[in-house]
Amino acid sequence: MATAECRDVAKAKRPKGRPKASERDDVTVKVDRAIVRQAKAIADFYGLSAAEVISETAREPMGRYYARMLREAEGKEAKA
């Protein structure tokens, strides 16, 4: 009986879900399998995570697209 109680206590103290691996604010998205395969190869070679590789690779072009979208949206508001 004591063994079962110990298991229950140990189970109750464990946090739910996966442990936080970094300070990043990661989310789940669907990405083309070929891109993920390449990102994993790069990540393994450089000792990074695939999420880091994809995020850092996409950060600059995504910033440019986002800035362009904001400019276009501002232009549409000005015309309205």
Query: Rounded mean pLDDT of 10-22?
Result: 59
Q: Would you call 39 exposed, middle or buried from its count of C-beta atoms within 10 A (0-12, 13-18, 19+)?
A: buried
Please state, for a pLDDT cut of 90, what percent of the chain lies above it.
59
Query: Rounded mean pLDDT of 7-11?
Result: 57
Q: What is the pLDDT of residue 25?
A: 86
Domain ranges of the chain: 30-80
Query: Has residue 16 got a pLDDT over 70?
Result: no
Query: Has residue 3 got a pLDDT over 80?
Result: no
Q: What is the mean pLDDT of the chain?
A: 84
Q: What is the pLDDT of residue 34?
A: 98
Of 1, 55, 61, 49, residue with least CA distance to 22: 49
Residue owning tokens 């109750």: 12
How far does CA 80 lie from the centroid of its chain?
A: 37
